[in-house]
Copies of this chain bind each other. A is one copy, B any other.
């Protein structure tokens, strides 16, 4: 049923987006149309990636998921960078981290917990992810923030590039670890998350076609979306920060959000956590550093230096997520705690 809604949204959204863009419809209306269209398109991209992953087997599949999983966010960000909106890009990266950990994680735990008294997931994976969250946010994001305070712009950029390369290398090493050298080494008895036999929804040819077309469409709509930010901000009194942290992040990750919550409801908490935390790590260790490197070829280079509120919010979110998820057990109250933290931060960014 969800799929039908998304199909309808795409069928209506793409012509409306094209029409609205060239006929200069009201920017507030177009902002809504663009957002809904991107959400629907990203659900198609998710399904296509999923089919390809099943067809290609776990190793290549894991790699596909790990690289295409945040393709929408990457595309929006590159267009934003080209438009010189470095602040929006950093804000939307922050928003992805906060949204995945607190909103998606929180909704999964909360809604899953309303149906199931206690839910469990692989404690080894939780710890592996905890260490990487600390590495990415508390080491790799904090160091340039603090060190750049007594650095020139050039030094800050050198440091950012160095850290970005290290982040991507470690991200690839994590894939090697999970998919090759230690595949299945940390399984918990009875934990079958993702190990069921799966049949692809689409054939290889269809999946590739859908992926290519959706990506093109997302690129087109994203480019248009980015140019409505200014108007939306002025009309609704939203700051660039709030648009980036809350709105862009929700639009860019909505499809993933939906599937994580559905998995939690089905008591497949391992998959839900993998989506929420795995997606965060992908953003922090792959999308963010890749954007730093890509920005070197664009007019405005982007150092890996977040604003202090952004960084502090991410650190707080990481510590809260770790302290809640590290035992491999969840319930509705833990979900409520994560959601409460998200609301606190959303109010903060709204008022800032």
Instruction: Give A contacts to B, CB under 8 Å.
Output: 117-118, 127, 130-132, 134-135, 138-140, 142-144, 146-147, 149-151, 155, 158-159, 162-163, 166-167, 169-170, 173-174, 177, 181-182, 185, 308-309, 312-313, 316-317, 319-320, 322-324, 326-327, 331-334, 336-337, 340-341, 343-345, 347-348, 351-352
Contacts and interface: CB of A to CB of B under 8 A. Distances in A.
Contact of A159 (B174, B177, B348): B348
B327 A132 contact: no
Contacts of A327: 127
A127 B325 CA distance: 10
A159 B347 contact: yes
A344 B117 CA distance: 43
Contacts of A167: 340
Given A323-B127, A323-B322, A351-B158, A344 B146 contact: no
Kindly report how many copies of this chain are found in the complex they form together.
3
B320 A146 contact: no
Contacts of A332: 177, 181
Contacts of A131: 320, 323-324, 334, 337
Given A135-B337, A159-B348, A347-B162, A147 B309 contact: yes
Nearest to A331: B182
Contacts of A150: 309, 352
A242 to B, nearest CB: 12
B320 A134 contact: yes
A308 B139 contact: no
A127 B333 CA distance: 13
Contacts of A317: 139
Nearest to A145: B312
A323 to B, nearest CB: 5
Given A313-B143, A347-B162, A336 B130 contact: no
Contacts of A147: 309, 348, 351-352
Contacts of A144: 348
Contacts of A309: 146-147, 150
Contacts of A316: 134, 138-139, 142-143
A337 B136 CA distance: 10
A313 B144 CA distance: 11
A143 B331 contact: no
A278 to B, nearest CB: 15
A341 B139 contact: yes
B134 A166 contact: no
Contact of A331 (B177, B337, B341, B345): B177
A326 B322 CA distance: 13
A231 to B, nearest CB: 24
Contacts of A117: 181-182, 185
Contacts of A127: 323, 326-327
A333 B174 contact: yes
Contact of A138 (B151, B173, B319): B319
